[in-house]
Structure 1
Amino acid sequence: MPPATAPTVTIVGAGITGLALAALLARTGREVTVLERATDLGPVGAGLLLQHLGQEVCHELGIGQALGASSAPVRRVDGRTVGGLRTMQLTYDEVAPGSSAWGVHRGTLFDLLRTAALDAGARIAPGWDVTAVRRTDVGPGREGGWVVTDAAGRRHESRGLLVGADGAASTVRRHTVRTRLDRPYPWGALWSIVPDPDGLSGDALVQRWRDTRTTLGVLPTGVGQASIFWSARVSRMPALLAAGPEAFVDHVAPLAGPLAPLVHRVAAAGLRPARYRDVVVDSPVADGAALVGDAAHAMSPQLGAGASLGLADAWTLAQALDRQPTLAQALAEYATERRAHLRYSRWWSRLLTPTFQSGLVPLGPPRDLVLAVALRVGPVRRLATTTLRGAQTSPWRTWHLPPPA
């Protein structure tokens, strides 16, 4: 028998977080429908860094072994200035022996999650460009529900929980909760996934920077591939893309050192833009609705924890729905459980963003000096590494996935 709490669920958005939640809820017998804007389901975006937190959820979903086998182990972070000053040298093994992050190809994770959701019995409906949601039948003795409308005028009615997993520019968020901050970042990234059959990217997330405007990142991705990231002001992206990948290679390759051959492969692979938002809501829940992933807490990707935070949202909400006797109590538990964890991640994101992606060039030299000195101190370096692993709620406390209900 399915749990009494929210026997039917409508999820808007078939991204990583939405599909993970669909799989978790459908396997307990709930009727789950996922409405996705795209007509052809598929991943969007570069490779991602999946921290230990996200790996745990994947193992709970039964896809961890397959995902780990098709991902690249990332055991350390190698951050230096283009002049060679070693500023950010972190090793996961120092805080958790034998551990690593995973350099994941987004397409691999997407396919595994989609299969898990479908196998569990979830229904995925593509081509739903949701433009509005509204609450219906709310009142004494009435269960209440939701009507979701798309750009073509179609209506989807749900008599249970509505979940917004529709990303940083969430439509569900706009119609359900009070948003305290919703602001696009003026800086984003150009990215590409290139072949790396010889393993030039190794086992490290490599970052090279010159000032707050110039950052190159290389992430081992999947098997035999690497993701290239280049920080760029959003207003300049059209011109950079119009100039073509060959111009990008000419500009960036001299900064890449031994990894220059990977940058040269961007000329054939092409470039795509990524833009970010800063989103803060008073609460990720409303009467009969919840937000997960970037819809609830979009932030600059300085910690590389976006996918892991979204998977933690999905797991926590699913367990709260299994544990609590009423939907209101489950949503309250979800909001409370995620508060401290997300606050800590947001704090670090806002601290780091101006020093790595901004026009505040004078911040560059003191940033480099502070990192080079502070991260040589064992306790500081270990705190930075545990923060990067994505589970801290403060310098002294670690967040753990709620146990299965």
Structure 2
Amino acid sequence: MRVAVVGLGTAGAATAALLFDRGHDVVVLEQADDPRPVGAGIWLQALGQQVLDRLDLLEPMRAASRVVSRVRMEGRGGRRLLDLGYDARPASTPALGVHRGDLFALLFGAVRARGIPLELGARVTAVEPRTGGIAVTVADPGGPDARDLGRFDLVVGADGTRSEVRAALGLGHRDRAYRYGALWAIVPDPDGLTSDTLHQRFDGTRRTLGVLPTGADRASIFWSLRTDRHAAALAAGVERWRADARAMAGPYAPLVDAVEELLPATYRAVSVRSSYRVGGGGAGVLVGDAAHAMSPQLGAGSSLALADAWTLAVALERGGSLAERLEWYDDQRRAHVRWYRWWTRAMMPLFQSDLTPLGPPRDALLPVVGWVPGMPRVMAGTLTGDRRSLRRTWRLP
């Protein structure tokens, strides 16, 4: 098939490489003139690692990353609320603390190495089912005119939370911004102060400090904050922020002191009734955040995006019509994505909201939950990225 992949993020680059390897005629359309990674460290779960392994990228990813085998949650004064290891689930694979730039470089390199055509500065303005396939139009960077790229058998929308492909195909169902986001920074951690642990310390539901091992010798700092207060906090300067963050940092205070610049991050909740649309002799399909953006509470975003890419590649190898193959893809991904969407929505009020009365009962219940027989196993399984219900797991097809 002739395939246009819109977006060069994690989902887009992985999808392009996987489809190219299966003999499809692939072109990647990226709106940035000089694509670069954006954002802090990534918590790459076992499911995402499996897909990288099938792209022969896992070993270089491991070499540039740090193993994250524990999650530790504490109250403001350092009282331990939860200490969960991935070993609570036998034979589970710990996460990797990945620098987003390293993951981007590996996937971008995979696209380049395969010789996949790449159009940069190509902002998609229209995706329309027409006779002979799906017509894709991009803005002309040199003026107001649009440029028709022709017809495609399949258009893959991997263009993120504000997906133009999703809007053009009318696939959106829910799309709203979360009130809370974060300020973040990446700092040197040459002595491995973060060790193998994602550390989170809470002050009620309005303030959270997170520290994630990132890459081989760095750490990512996250500071939960309402999005309408980002501008004021950034204007006040890093020194003002340090005064607040240092009080919650505990043993990670030296990392807080190393922050020289803070950057804002916002989150959206996106869902679709269906991830695909067929018409005009072709089809459009969504992968990654374009289909199911969610908060980063469980660190599942990149792994879910990679699972989408692999499942779509497998779906297109099946028999039947294109509509039947995309229906299978949609069915495969639905329950898995729904589980993580539900849990991230449920966790937001408890960890990032103005619902401050939820803080004390949360802090009282978390230690109890950690001792309930079977619960650490379920929680570790959910972090691994392969849950679809309390009793059922999801496997790469």
TM-score by length of 1: 0.94
Superposed, which structure 2 residues align to 1:97-116 within 5 Å? 97=91, 99-116=93-110
Equivalent of 2:250, from 251, 257, 263?
A: 257
The corresponding residue for 2:31 is 37
Which among 381, 388, 397 is matched to residue 376 of structure 2? Answer: 381
**Deviation digits for residues 286-327 of structure 1 (CA, Å, limit 9, x no counterpart):** 110100000000111111100000000000001101123432
The equivalent of 1:274 in structure 2 is 265
Contact 2:180/2:266 (<8 A) preserved: yes
Change (3 A) 1:146 1:88: farther
Letter in 1 for 2:268: R
- Candidates 382, 392, 397, aligned match of 1:397: 392
Instruction: Give the whole-Å Cα distance in 2 for the aligned partners of 1:249 and 1:84.
Output: 18
- Give a deviation string over 1:371-392, Cα, whole Å, max 9, x none: 1111122311111111111110
CA deviation profile, 1:237-278 (whole Å, cap 9, x unmatched)? 011111122221122112101100001111x2x111111111
Partner of 1:369: 364
8 Å Cα contact 1:145/1:160 also seen in 2:
yes
Q: Deviations over 1:110-168 (max 9, x none)?
A: 1111111222232221111223222221xxxxx32222222642332232100110001
Contact 1:79-1:87 at 8 Å conserved across structures: yes
Alpha-carbon offset, residue 26 of structure 1: 0.8
Letter in 1 for 2:319: Q
Q: 1:161 aligns with which of 154, 158, 161?
A: 154
| In the alignment, structure 1 residue 240 sits paired with structure 2 residue 233 | yes
- Which residue matches 1:12? 6
Say which of 208, 212, 222 aligns to 1:219: 212
* Segment drifting more, 230-239 vs 367-376: 367-376
Q: What's the CA shift for 1:47?
A: 0.6
In 1, Cα distance between equivalents of 2:78 and 2:138: 54
Task: Report how far residue 87 of structure 1 moved.
Answer: 1.4
CA distance in 2, matches of 1:95, 1:224: 28
Letter of the 1:312 counterpart: A
- Kept after mapping to 2: 8 A contact 1:177/1:284: no
The 2-side partners of 1:98 and 1:336 are apart by 26
SS in 1 for 2:346: helix
Q: Aligned partner of 2:220: which letter? A: S
**Which of 60, 69, 73 in structure 2 is aligned with 1:79?**
73
> Superposed, which structure 2 residues align to 1:171-182 within 5 Å?
171-182=164-175
- 1:338-379: CA deviation from partner (whole Å, max 9, x where unpaired): 010011111101110111010000000011111111112231
Equivalent-residue separation in structure 1 for 2:363 and 2:46 (angstroms): 27
CA contact (8 A) 1:321 1:327 kept: yes
CA deviations on 1:175-230 (whole Å, 9 max, x unpaired) are 11332211011111111000000101110000000111010100000011000001
What letter is aligned with 2:387? Q
**Would you say 1:50 and 2:41 are equivalent positions?**
no
Determine the structure 2 residue equivalent to 1:296: 291
Matched AA of 2:306: L
- Verify the 8 A CA contact 1:147 1:155 in the aligned structure 2: yes
Quote the residue 2:275 is aligned against. Answer: 284
Aligned length: 389
> In structure 2, what is the Cα distance between the partners aligned to 1:338 and 1:98?
22
**1:94: how far off?**
2.1
**3-state SS in 2 of match to 1:315:** helix
| Cα separation, 2, equivalents of 1:36 and 1:331 | 23
Query: Secondary structure at 1:372's aligned position in 2?
Result: helix
Q: Distance in 2 between matches of 1:376 and 1:10?
A: 49
| AA of the residue aligned to 2:263 | R
8 A contact 2:184–2:262 mirrored in 1: yes
Aligned to 1:3: none
Aligned-residue offset at 1:106: 0.7
Identical positions, percent: 50
8 Å CA contact 1:146–1:159 kept in 2: the answer is: yes
Does 1:327 pair with 2:322?
yes
1:28 aligns with 2:22: yes
Matched residue, 2:136: 147
1:134 and 2:123 aligned: no
Deviates more, 1:118-127 or 1:149-158: 149-158
Is the deviation greater in 378-387 or in 287-296? Answer: 378-387
Residues 43-68 of structure 1, C-alpha deviation per residue, up to 9 Å, x if partnerless?
11111000000000000000001101
Tell me what 1:346 maps to: 341
Is the 8 Å Cα contact of residues 164 and 173 (structure 1) preserved in structure 2?
Answer: yes
Give me the whole-angstrom Cα distance separating, in 1, the residues matched to 2:126 and 2:5. 14
Unaligned 5+ residue runs, structure 1? 1-6, 138-142
Secondary structure (helix, strand or coil) at the match of 2:127 reads strand
Root-mean-square deviation (Å): 1.2
Q: How far, CA to CA, are the matches of 1:43 and 1:375 in structure 2?
A: 36
Is 1:308 the equivalent of 2:297?
A: no
Displacement of 1:85: 2.2
Given candidates 182, 185, 189, the residue that maps to 2:182 is 189
Q: Say which is worse superposed, 252-261 or 79-88, in terms of deviation.
A: 79-88
